[in-house]
Amino acid sequence: MRKSSDFAFDECVTELRAACRLPIDESALETVLGSLRYNFERHLDHPTGGKRWADHGQRVRDSARHLGAFANFFANHVGATVVGLDELTSAFKVIRADCTIQSSASPLASEFCCSPPESCNEAPLDTGPAEDFLAALAPRPRLARVG
């Protein structure tokens, strides 16, 4: 029987591929996505995994789709005919920045941003410029206070 994490991971890869119109270099894709598999296993392969996927799966699938679209955008920007590691890495920086910004409102979201968890502290990708760009271009609406 397939693990929940495998099913969810495959769904996200399908979303990424559907959003990216150009061919994707498979080794580049494996490099970028390989480290994310850990999070899928950690969050989904335990008794509450199904509930977590039900609660957060749509957001994760959306992020995968955005990753594919941004990778396609960056490849078009440089005139590439195949999406490679540079384009996927640039796209991942934008998605990671969005995840980091969103995690301020939802602490669980921050767990999905890092892979493995110690990378949250090491920050191997410099997402600062992307975070600044997103905050300026598409500010997150503040939650309305009641009462």
Per-residue pLDDT reduced to its tens digit, 95-107: 887 776 666 666 5
**pLDDT (0 to 100) of residue 99:** 74
* Domain ranges for the chain: 4-137
For 83, phi then psi, to 5°, come to: -75, 120
Q: Which residues pair with 83 in a beta bridge?
A: 24
Query: What's the pTM?
Result: 0.77
**46, amino acid identity:** H
Q: What letter does residue 80 receive in the DSSP assignment?
A: -
Quote the tokens at residue 91: 């796209």
Give the whole-angstrom CA distance, residue 122 versus residue 33: 18
Using a pLDDT cut of 90, give the percent of the chain over it: 44
DSSP-assigned letter for residue 140: P
Cα distances (Å, whole numbers) of residue 35 to 8, 16, 39:
15, 16, 8
Q: Which two tokens stand for residue 64?
A: 């995968």
- For the segment 9-52, what is each residue's pLDDT rounded down to a tens digit? 999 999 999 999 999 999 999 998 887 888 889 889 989 988 98
